[in-house]
Amino acid sequence: MNAVFLDPRPLQDALRPAGVQAAHIGSLWNLTLGLCAVVFVLVLGACLVALWRAPRAGAGTEPDLSSLSRPERRTWRVIGWSTGLAAAGLLALLAADVWTSRALARLPLRDAVNIELVGHMWWWEARYRDADPSREFSTANELHIPVGRPVVVTLRSNDVIHSLWIPNLQGKKDLIPGRTATLRLRADRAGSYRGQCAEFCGLEHAMMALLVEAEPNDRYEAWAERQRQPAAEPVDAVARRGREVFLGKSCVMCHTISGTTANARFGPDLTHLAGRRTIASGMFPNNRGHLAGWIADPQSLKPGVNMPANNLPPDELQALLAYLETLK
């Protein structure tokens, strides 16, 4: 478990914004925290002063009821001012909230990257849209985005309500079956950011992570160009045998590897599986051992997941792994 969870960089942190949207949200948070802290200190101070100034009298002293007969203008003034100040503070927060919402909605969208993100139980499917359909491609559980360019994420769900939350970049947005939502974001700082499903969606809700790699535009374009290529033809005999296993067993019922006859869309697209950092939606680092365990018995690693166990003979499993490792 080293790739994602023990990464030394702050991967999932709303207080360290890496984009203009998250910066707006961060400012709103700082303002709210500051204002509420001032109010909290004032209220506590008033309580302490009241305690300090309370008249102390013995048990036998007669109560002083003289104030009942005279008008208490000062008290009413204090109550009026306090109520007015409280209302003004709340209105200020409301105004800041509305202003932040407007700022979030006004991200300039020229030259935007369009990504359609579909929530599944329990993984993310990302389709990179393009005006030219032959340049579209699909990947899973890992977004690459260019630094400084706006990204329009179109959100859909395949089954139940999910919610996308990448704290370093934007606020939450729900993915509701049968509806389409959009989230606009822009990363201003290169880095790896972790996203997470933020709406309980079943057994493995906690294990539905999304890795966002923000990188300079030229590196992003190079990555996208690689993703558009079909899978490389396996060169050695073991990998070719692995492809036969892939196409002859149940893998082909759910997964796509472009350039082969595997074209099913129910599971993640595996065309460039070896280029991804994690498997099982951010649960495990993508290496041969974890992949082998995942193929052989996914229900022990992520109970309830739709991937079935594959009881392959050892030589077929090794060949399959050798083939999957060629899918760079």
Partner 1 sequence: MTLRPYMPAVCLIVLLALYGCEREQRPVKAPPAASGLGDPSYAAAGKVPVSNRYEENAFAVSQGKTWFRAYNCNGCHAAGGGDIGPPLMDAKWRYGSDPGAIYATIAFGRPNGMPAFGQHVPEDQIWQLVAYVRSMSGQLSGSVSPNRSDTLQAAKPENRREKEKPVHEATPAAEH
Contact positions vs partner 1 (CB under 8 A): 158-159, 177-178, 203, 248-250, 252-254, 264, 266, 299-300, 303-304, 306, 308-311
The CB-of-309 to partner 1 minimum distance in angstroms stands at: 6
In terms of DSSP bridges, do strands 181-186 and 150-157 run parallel, antiparallel, or are they unpaired?
Answer: antiparallel
b (16+ CB within 10 A) / e for 190-201: bbbbbbbbbbeb
Choose between 216 and 308: whose C-beta lies nearer to partner 1. Answer: 308
How many CB atoms lie under 10 A from the CB of residue 319? 23
Identify the burial level of 31 via C-beta atoms within 10 angstroms of its C-beta, where 0-12 means exposed, 13-18 middle and 19 or more buried: middle
The CB-of-322 to partner 1 minimum distance in angstroms stands at: 22
The tokens for 125 are: 């499917």
Choose between 84 and 304: whose C-beta lies nearer to partner 1. Answer: 304
Choose between 155 and 214: whose C-beta lies nearer to partner 1. Answer: 155
Choose between 8 and 313: whose C-beta lies nearer to partner 1. Answer: 313
The CB-of-253 to partner 1 minimum distance in angstroms stands at: 5
Choose between 84 and 248: whose C-beta lies nearer to partner 1. Answer: 248
The CB-of-264 to partner 1 minimum distance in angstroms stands at: 8
In angstroms and rounded to an integer, the radius of gyration of the C-alpha atoms of the chain is 28
How many CA atoms lie less than 13 Å away from 41 in the CB half-sphere? 6
C-alpha distance from residue 44 to each of 48, 49, 124, 140 (Å): 6, 9, 47, 51
The CB-of-23 to partner 1 minimum distance in angstroms stands at: 37
